Amino acid sequence: MTTKMIAGIISMAAAVVGASGEVTGRWSVEQARSWHESTGWLVGCNFSPSTAINQLEMWQADSFDRETIERELDWAASLGFNSVRVYLHSLAWRNDPEGFLRRTDAFLDMAESRKIGVMLVLFDSCWHPFPKAG
């Protein structure tokens, strides 16, 4: 996992685990209000570039289309979006773990430069029971 992915997972875990390590459960009204004030209203979409037919194609080395991703994240930002959800396919990871992490980091950098938060759906492969790369 990349440093950015680990940081995101840690921040998600911190939302439900207190400093003492105890699971805190539901946030208090004050915690929720504080989070909302620091984050703002989330406006976003599921993101896949127009040149990728599915989430597997988005992340493969031969079809990762940085130019299109940059342009379409610009469109999202211009519409006022501040968050996107992207699906990370397990087969893209299995076939090229190091390249997959580089491409994931590149995507996170592209989104961050536009002040767009990213919700990663880890290793989703439910769209097709027998996926194949290529």
44-46 and 83-87 strand pairing: parallel
pLDDT tens digits along 34-43 = 988 988 899 9
Which pTM does this prediction carry?
0.75
Q: What pLDDT score was predicted for residue 82?
A: 95
pLDDT above 90 as % of the chain: 54
Do 83 and 117 form a contact (C-beta atoms < 8 A)? yes
Across the chain, mean pLDDT equals 84
**Pick from 54, 50, 83, 56: nearest CA to 68:** 50
